[in-house]
Structure 1
């Protein structure tokens, strides 16, 4: 339910849905606390509205998401989009992800998540984004590492004063990456390439974390974070299939996972020229 419930959507997100999404996030403890505070404010506003108190929705604001690739910035943006919509701040909970290379997509009353890469900075595109920010119908989030964001602010001195909040996304630890692996294997969609496969009993979170620490290296984990997980699991599945041949085996062992981590590490090491 929204304080301002007008919507053209068939499936309107509820606070309960969003609370479940927040609780399922791995890591990002400080950010989760901030998201939960927004939920509390929405609940308080809805209680006031139920007693016929006049509730003025907060104005949309713009944010900086500071963090490396794969640290959950898109996930948090989607949650914030729903929270801003439910609070009446935005007329849409759509999140449009775009960059500064090529034709820029624009928001439509929801969130415009702009991926900032120091290699693609364009002063003309930044001017376009400033015009979107000033319309007050879209919340703009700049997402990138600290170097890229600092360079974008230097390129256009008008940018920084338009941002009201900044969230820091830490790199995932080996333990958190292990939790993501277990979660991804337990929550597979119908189109998952790992559909029908599962981790065997040897693949506890602690054991997986230990193997991640042994078979990968910190610089790569820092560059990729959760983006490393899909390749690890695909490589582990391949290792299982090679190990059992034509046997109908679907349980990925810790050894398969360890080999998958090593193979994924080598693949990305070559791709990233590390």
Structure 2
């Protein structure tokens, strides 16, 4: 059977059936038409887009694997629904454990984007909060503040950093009221928003031990390990490239030596990883600008290169 062809007003041809005969193509092209053959939709375009963004994050192999597993489960669940099979929903509340500067907030935003594109979340936005945003000053105030935050998070993600601080004041502290309110809404609205609790690994483990009922409510626990010196150098070079700067060889070696020294003498919980190198870069760029201004040097190579003397390594 010959393939049906429809002509569009803009001079394009839409191919409706497969098996287009060469004669039809030749005739169309001889008349000056552009032939448009619709391509099959890329079913996993969403995952590919997210993977592309994840690839810009250094390390985090376990986290990347977890994200792919979540995608696979959601995708297969939809296929089960299409076949009339049971596809029960699961709570997707999460816990992120790791030191500062390891990418927890960045990953939370990516998850919001992924879930929005897969129609798991209606908006996919991220609401960031900490203890002060939830805990009030009098009885009843905390519950209301917490409910208000949850309301803002509907359709997206509520990300609570240093979540363990909610339990630091003992039984009479209003933080417990915030936890109780969160737990209630995690159940009542478990498919309307996603709660992510984040913080240091040790403190989060202690937090869970004080609230044993919480552990089972967070089926997804993702660890964010500290970066190695090599990974920090990779991150710093990526940050520099994004800003259209580069390190001189001496500056690169000096920064690497400094990172090795700092990591060997600083407690992991007090080292801010990616944030640490970002601060160095931003200070060093300002230092370089001052040097160039005083020297009246504005050649392209001067403008893009951070020299060893430009590095600001002190906190």
Tell me if TM exceeds 0.5.
Answer: yes
Give, in whole Å, the separation in 2 of the partners of 1:23 and 1:125.
36
- Structure 1 position 112 matched with structure 2 position 158: yes
Q: Which runs of 4+ in 1 moved over 6 A?
A: 203-207
Change (3 A) 1:200 1:148: closer
TM-superposed CA distance for 1:173, in Å, is 1.3
Looking at structure 2, the residues matched to 2 and 96 of structure 1 have their Cα atoms a distance apart, in angstroms, of 31
- Output the CA distance in 1 between the equivalents of 2:309 and 2:107: 32
Name the CA distance, whole Å, in 2 between partners of 1:221 and 1:156. Answer: 25
Are 1:60 and 1:90, in contact at CA under 8 Å, matched by a contact in 2?
no
Q: Deviations along 1:66-123, whole A, 9 cap, x unmatched?
A: 1111111111112222333344433331221111224442221222111125445311
The question of 1:219 aligning with 2:266 is answered yes
Which segments of 5 or more consecutive residues in structure 2 lack a partner in the other structure?
1-40, 135-145, 168-174
The corresponding residue for 2:94 is 63
Q: How does 1:1-274 map to 2 (within 5 A)?
A: 14-42=46-74, 44=76, 48=79, 52-54=82-84, 56=87, 58-103=89-134, 104=146, 105-106=149-150, 107-121=153-167, 122-134=175-187, 135-136=189-190, 137-188=192-243, 198-202=245-249, 208-214=255-261, 218-219=265-266, 222-223=269-270, 224-244=272-292, 245=294, 246-248=296-298, 249-256=302-309, 259-260=311-312, 262-263=313-314, 267=315
Choose 242-251 or 127-136, whichever is displaced more. Answer: 242-251
TM-score by length of 2: 0.65
Tell me if the contact between 2:245 and 2:304 (Cα under 8 Å) persists in the aligned partners: yes
What is the TM-score when the length of structure 1 is the normalising length?
A: 0.74
CA distance in 1, matches of 2:245, 2:99: 29
Give the number of the structure whose alpha-carbon radius of gyration is greater: 2
Q: 1:53 to 1:85 in 2, by over 3 A?
A: farther
Unaligned runs of 5+ in 1: 4-12, 189-196, 268-274
